[in-house]
Structure 1
Amino acid sequence: MAEPLLKVSGLQAWYGESHVLHGVDFEVRPGEVVTLLGRNGAGKTTTLKCVMGMIGKRQGSIIYDGDETIALSSDKIARRGVALCPEERGVFASLTVLENLLLPPKIADGGLSLDEIYELFPNLSERSTSMGGKLSGGEQQMLAIARILRTGARLLMLDEPTEGLAPIIIKQIGHAIQKLKPRGFTLLLVEQNFRWASQLADRFYVMEHGQVIDAFAAAELPDNMDKLHAYLGV
């Protein structure tokens, strides 16, 4: 079995005096799609931000590609090949789609070319000269994902990529993720839409009150649906 690309152990985090993560443990192996499940406030987004170095007060261990990164700043973590697509997307409204795509620096080989991105997300090709602020929510989400695919980052973290999107857009994003796996990308998802995530992920971790309380492989889902319904309230 391959060594984990990401191994998180005993992760704790605080917002000011508020202690929000209480010893989170999980791992993601190269080429996997792993989903963090849990109700709102469980600590899922905070976990992604900790991996990205965006939470000031954090303790524990975050090993990425064999190196400890818990003390590194977010820019140094990004240069090592970790990318976060936040829930708020962060598209530059005053730049065109093409300018948004060209803005992030290349940090390693293996990123997608513009042609490959347009093949993955045809909507972006059609809207390449449109301003980011004129895009629909679904198109902005595609652009936010596409932008990090150019960089050569190996670990892509997507925070609620289907939130508030139309079913046809959700389906397109799912197809794109399925096409990324054979390209060697590793994905860590935070997602409320369990039925969508269940079609994509290799493994699932369930979070509650700032801790991982359970884990399932995709093949184990049918035997654990009652537990998942109880955990997630779905």
Structure 2
Amino acid sequence: MSTDNTSVLNGSQKSSLAPLLKVSGLQGWYGESHVLHGMNFEVLPGEVVTLLGRNGAGKSTTLKAIMGMLGRRRGSILFEGQQTISLPSRRIARLGIGYVPEDRGIYASLSVEENLLLPPQVKPGGMSTERVFAMFPNLKERINSHGKKLSGGEQQMLAIGRILRTGARLLLLDEPTEGLAPVIIDQIGRTITELKNEGYTIVLVEQNFHFAATLADRHYVVEEGHVVDMIPNAELAVNVNKLHSYLGV
């Protein structure tokens, strides 16, 4: 398993660590539409952090901004202390950041195996295809199936497995449970827990708050393109009414 000690650190030890990812004053635009209005948050090594908020709050746009996928952005994004705000997407990915978009981005005409083997390794330690298949047995059974023939759950597994093959250690997951059956959601949850235990760091955008609450260390609440609150998972019970108010539950 992982040799990364962050996976076994307690809360006080983690709090003394430098952030793996630090986003400060992040502004972002789609064309002329100003979407992000000063996003501020940080993620420590080995954490699972969620971005929560209503539809249109800017959560998914934040992940795209981190990956350099917005046409225009300003502010500061530090990954392992390196400023990435001016870097193109291809260079950001090669720093060790993996992104699974909401639409999963599977190549419909390629087989499961071809999809897995397509991305280049960006860092040492990427998972072997055998390890991915051990994590997602459904994919091994569909190894020769084209992407267009996979179920939504199988596509999500493939999208995550493809990123794990690259060696990325910071994973940005955008709505990984959207539209999936409960049994597949449970499997995705077990996978995220396993990855966390192995020292991966994960930023999770998720509408399924109950799913996120079983996984995350902290929750950032996003409204109108900026963070309005941060709730540690340990304090969730006493803040549930406030969170429901934010989310309109």
| TM-score, normalized by the shorter chain, greater than 0.5 | yes
Match of residue 130 from structure 1: 145
Match of residue 181 from structure 1: 196
Measure how far apart 1:182 and its partner are.
Answer: 2.0
Match of residue 154 from structure 1: 169
Q: For residues 123-166 of structure 1, give each alpha carbon's deviation from its aligned partner in whole angstroms, at most 9, with x where no partner exists.
A: 11111111111000110011011100010001100000000100
Find the aligned partners of 2:133 and 2:218 in 1 and give their Cα distance: 29
Find the aligned partners of 1:56 and 1:3 in 2 and give their Cα distance: 29
Q: For residues 11-54 of structure 1, give each alpha carbon's deviation from its aligned partner in whole angstroms, at most 9, with x where no partner exists.
A: 01111221111110000111110000000000001100000000
* Secondary structure, counterpart of 2:177 in structure 1: coil
State the 4+ residue runs in structure 1 displaced beyond 2 angstroms. none
Match of residue 22 from structure 1: 37
Of 49, 53, 56, the residue aligned with 2:71 is: 56
Maintained 8 Å contact 2:170/2:201: yes
Find the aligned partners of 1:28 and 1:209 in 2 and give their Cα distance: 21
* Secondary structure, counterpart of 1:94 in structure 2: coil
Amino acid at match of 1:208: E
Tell me the number of residue pairs that the alignment of Structure 1 and Structure 2 aligns. Answer: 234
Instruction: Please show how residues 28-107 of structure 1 align to structure 2 within 5 Å.
Output: 28-107=43-122
Find the aligned partners of 2:56 and 2:29 in 1 and give their Cα distance: 13
Match of residue 208 from structure 1: 223
Of 112-121 and 221-230, more deviation after overlay is shown by 112-121
Amino acid at match of 1:4: P
Match of residue 130 from structure 2: 115
Measure how far apart 1:113 and its partner are.
Answer: 1.2
Amino acid at match of 2:64: K
Amino acid at match of 1:75: R
Measure how far apart 1:116 and its partner are.
Answer: 1.1
* Secondary structure, counterpart of 1:227 in structure 2: helix
Could you tell me which runs of 5 or more consecutive residues in structure 2 were left unpaired when the two chains were aligned. Answer: 1-15
Find the aligned partners of 2:245 and 2:170 in 1 and give their Cα distance: 30
Normalising to structure 2: TM-score of the pair? 0.93
Q: Superposition RMSD on alpha carbons, in Å?
A: 0.7
* Secondary structure, counterpart of 1:196 in structure 2: helix
Could you tell me which runs of 5 or more consecutive residues in structure 1 were left unpaired when the two chains were aligned. Answer: none
Measure how far apart 1:171 and its partner are.
Answer: 0.4
Identity %: 66
Normalising to structure 1: TM-score of the pair? 0.99
* Secondary structure, counterpart of 1:98 in structure 2: helix
Maintained 8 Å contact 2:31/2:71: no
